[in-house]
DNA sequence: ACAAAAGTGTTATTCCTACACCCATGC
DNA sequence: GCATGGGTGTAGGAATAACACTTTTGT
């Protein structure tokens, strides 16, 4: 069980790594992880391990990436790892043990085993979900300005984002609400920015399938669990 | 390791299940599966197990769904399962062992353990990926007509799909090419349908992030591996 | 000729990006 | 007043759903 904990620090997407002191791959940087306990599922286990070993309690989101199982991904022993993506809001600065440190995802140090691949997959998952879910809540502080949020998106996505359109998209989807407060302007002046927060702080898919979408039912458009067992008329007008 | 093998049979999305003969959950229907071997990764293992136990060799696509790890998901023993989605084209009719059978996903029999949840997750994954990838290739025969393909999409998605627009979307994305041949008309006449095939038979994402897309670079628009380490100018114009 | 099935053309809508224009504050 | 950063309004474009219409076959 391995966790790629990502956070935007100093405008850069970084990952928490741990420097191995023993062979194999001594000296290289590895993802934190541990073994599954008897009375927990894998998600709970990851959260527990992060809280215990790394003192990261403000993990706002945890999700499975994939199982990594190449036969010799770790020398000598057979180890199958379930990899996770964990996110920490940008205003948290958790105390980490002395042998751990944050590293920019774009400029990884020498990493152990297949951990670089895991980190890339975690980053890609984050980038994809920023686009069609409200996952931004997991990167941002509880309260923030649009330009601060824009910087987080830029750092996570690796490309420019327009503050104008970011606000409109998130507002249209009702993910963002103004708190009413405003932030103080910088030393060089400028209009004070309005403060916002995310309406939810749990993952919500906002933009499922952009294409081949179901025809708009008159009332509800939900995709229930069991539907359309009949094979005759394919159109599911209720 | 469990595999939810899905196929469109008789215009309905069905899953291959195996009736348990022993406790626990004797008599209930379960997903086929097995243990990971020493010299294979999990994907290879699933393909091997399907080929060995169930004689399903024409599995056109295999992908991880998730790890299911609730502590008591299987009574008495601690079992962590990595669940997979497998797809079989609609024209295949593999010989399956006597204690296995296909069941409609929308009308499952009594299922063992948490397998119903796994099947739902697999179905949802299929539905999502039909929308933004070329995954249709895994459900369809090598050569098919648009209306046949439409029926597959309708069965998999559970809602009506317009043959007109389906063809246009897949053609615009260059996923579909005409073979030049035509199918024979039905007994009641009608214009003979042109035959098509998918250009690729490997998964390809065609419609990544519909929103917050990167600005159109002049030449290449690819998202490389490492990029934009600098924090100053966020826009990645090379 | 007529019905049935397949395929094409066209329109309307929706959603996003880009750009220009107003607002509020510090110096 | 002017520079600086924040926010709104509006126009343009891309992609898709919906629908009307033409084409090709069998009876």
Instruction: For residue B218, give the CATH number of its domain.
Output: 1.10.10.10
In degrees and rounded to multiples of 5, residue B171 shows phi and psi of: -70, -45
Asked if B209 and B227 sit in the same domain, the reply is: yes
Burial class for A119, CB neighbours closer than 10 Å (0-12, 13-18, 19+): buried
Instruction: Give per-residue pLDDT as tens, A5-62.
Output: 999 999 999 999 999 999 899 999 999 999 999 999 999 999 999 998 787 778 999 9
A13 Cβ neighbours under 8 A, 6+ residues apart: A6, A7, A104, A105, A106, A123, A126, A155, A156, A158
pLDDT of residue A197: 96
Q: Quick one: DSSP state of residue B59?
A: -
**Closest approach of chain B CAs to the CA of A170, in angstroms?**
11
* Max Cα–Cα distance, chain A, nearest Å: 69
Give the pLDDT band (50/70/90) at residue B237.
very low
Q: Of the residues A130, A158, A178, which one is the last residue of a structural domain?
A: A130
Beta-carbon neighbour count of residue A118 at 10 Å? Answer: 23
Which member of B11, B104, B169 has the closest CB to residue A211?
A: B169
Asked if A118 and A166 sit in the same domain, the reply is: no
For residue B69, the domain's CATH number is 3.90.79.10
- Which B positions 107-136 lie with beta carbon below 8 A of chain A? 107, 120, 127-128, 130-132
Name residues 96-155 of chain B with a Cβ under 7 Å from nucleic strand C: 145-147
Tokens of B76: 């008495």
Asked if B174 and B153 sit in the same domain, the reply is: yes
Asked if B154 and B84 sit in the same domain, the reply is: no
DSSP-derived secondary structure for B192-237 = PPEEEEES-SS--B-S--SSSPPP--SS-----SS----SS-----
pLDDT of residue B217: 61
pLDDT of residue A217: 62
Q: Is B160 on the interface with A (CB under 8 A)?
A: yes
Instruction: Give per-residue pLDDT as tens, B41-86.
Output: 999 999 999 998 787 778 999 999 999 999 999 999 999 999 999 9
Asked if B12 and B106 sit in the same domain, the reply is: yes
C-alpha A33/C-alpha A49 separation (Å) is 7
C-alpha B44/C-alpha B236 separation (Å) is 39
Is the pLDDT at A235 greater than 90? The verdict is no
Residue B177: give the domain boundaries: 138-238
What's the rounded mean pLDDT across residues A168-194?
A: 88
pLDDT of residue B189: 73
Is the pLDDT at B219 greater than 90? The verdict is no
Asked if B11 and B126 sit in the same domain, the reply is: yes
Give the pLDDT band (50/70/90) at residue A69.
very high
Is the pLDDT at B191 greater than 80? The verdict is yes
Q: Of the residues A108, A130, A152, which one is the last residue of a structural domain?
A: A130
Any strand C atom closer than 7 Å to B218 CB? no
Least confident of B49-58, B89-98, B173-182: B49-58
pLDDT of residue B53: 78
Place of tokens 């196929």: B7
Asked if A168 and A231 sit in the same domain, the reply is: yes
Name residues 136-155 of chain A with a Cβ under 7 Å from nucleic strand C: none
pLDDT of residue B23: 86
More confident residue, A41 or A225: A41
Is the pLDDT at A236 greater than 80? The verdict is no
Instruction: Give per-residue pLDDT as tens, A133-147.
Output: 999 999 999 999 999
Q: Strands across the sheet with A144-145, in order?
A: A144-145, A194-198, A176-182
pLDDT of residue B52: 86
Least confident of A212-221, B17-26, B167-176: A212-221
Rg of chain A taking only CA atoms, in angstroms: 21
More confident residue, A211 or B28: B28
pLDDT of residue B213: 76
With vertex at residue A24, the alpha carbon angle to CA A18 and CA A27, rounded to the nearest 5 degrees, is 40
Asked whether B169 and A211 are in contact (CB, 8 A), the reply is: yes
Asked if A238 and A218 sit in the same domain, the reply is: yes
Give the pLDDT band (50/70/90) at residue B158.
very high
Asked if A31 and A148 sit in the same domain, the reply is: no
C-alpha B128/C-alpha A133 separation (Å) is 14
pLDDT of residue A234: 34
Q: Is B225 on the interface with A (CB under 8 A)?
A: yes
Give the pLDDT band (50/70/90) at residue B236.
very low
pLDDT of residue B30: 97
Pairing of β B2-9 and β A194-198: unpaired
pLDDT of residue A56: 76
Helix (H, G, I), strand (E, B) or coil at A204: coil
Asked if B111 and B148 sit in the same domain, the reply is: no
Domain count, chain B: 2
More confident residue, A236 or A77: A77
Asked whether B118 and B65 are in contact (CB, 8 A), the reply is: yes
Asked if A35 and A109 sit in the same domain, the reply is: yes
**Chain D bases near protein CB atoms (7 A cut-off):** 3-9, 15-20, 23-27
Q: What is the mean pLDDT of chain B?
A: 88
C-alpha B141/C-alpha B91 separation (Å) is 6
Which member of B36, B70, B158 has the closest CB to residue A69?
A: B36
Is the pTM of the predicted complex or chain greater than 0.85? yes
Give the pLDDT band (50/70/90) at residue B238.
very low
Q: What is the mean pLDDT of chain A?
A: 88
Q: Is B228 on the interface with A (CB under 8 A)?
A: yes
Pairing of β A144-145 and β A81-88: unpaired
Task: Indicate the angle between helix axes B163-172 and B146-157, nearest 10 degrees.
Answer: 100
Residue of B27, B131, B190 whose CA lies nearest to A205 = B131
E strands within A183-224?
A: 194-198
Asked if A24 and A123 sit in the same domain, the reply is: yes
Q: Of the residues B105, B130, B155, which one is the last residue of a structural domain?
A: B130
Q: Is B74 on the interface with A (CB under 8 A)?
A: no
Q: Quick one: DSSP state of residue A9?
A: E
């Amino acid at each position: 069980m391995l966790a790629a904990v990502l956070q935007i620090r100093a405008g850069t997407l970084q990952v928490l790594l741990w420097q191995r002191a023993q062979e194999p791959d001594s000296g290289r940087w590895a993802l934190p992880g541990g073994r599954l306990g008897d009375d927990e599922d894998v998600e709970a286990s990851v959260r527990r391990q992060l809280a215990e070993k790394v003192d990261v309690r403000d993990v706002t989101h945890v999700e499975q990436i994939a199982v990594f199982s190449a036969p010799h991904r770790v020398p000598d022993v057979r180890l199958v790892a379930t990899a996770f993506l964990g996110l920490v809001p940008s205003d948290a600065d958790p105390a980490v043990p002395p042998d751990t440190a944050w590293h920019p995802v774009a400029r990884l140090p020498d990493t152990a085993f297949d951990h670089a691949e895991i980190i890339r997959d975690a980053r890609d998952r984050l980038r994809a979900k920023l686009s069609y879910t409200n996952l931004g809540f997991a990167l941002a502080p509880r309260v923030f300005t649009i330009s601060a949020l824009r910087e987080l998106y830029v750092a996570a996505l690796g490309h420019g984002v327009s503050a104008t359109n970011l606000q409109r998209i998130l507002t249209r989807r009702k993910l963002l609400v103004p708190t009413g407060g405003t932030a103080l302007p910088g030393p060089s002046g400028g209009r004070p920015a309005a403060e916002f927060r995310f309406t939810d702080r749990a993952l919500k898919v906002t933009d499922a399938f952009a294409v081949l979408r179901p025809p708009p039912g008159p009332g509800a458009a939900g995709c229930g669990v069991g539907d359309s067992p009949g094979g005759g008329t394919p159109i599911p007008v209720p």
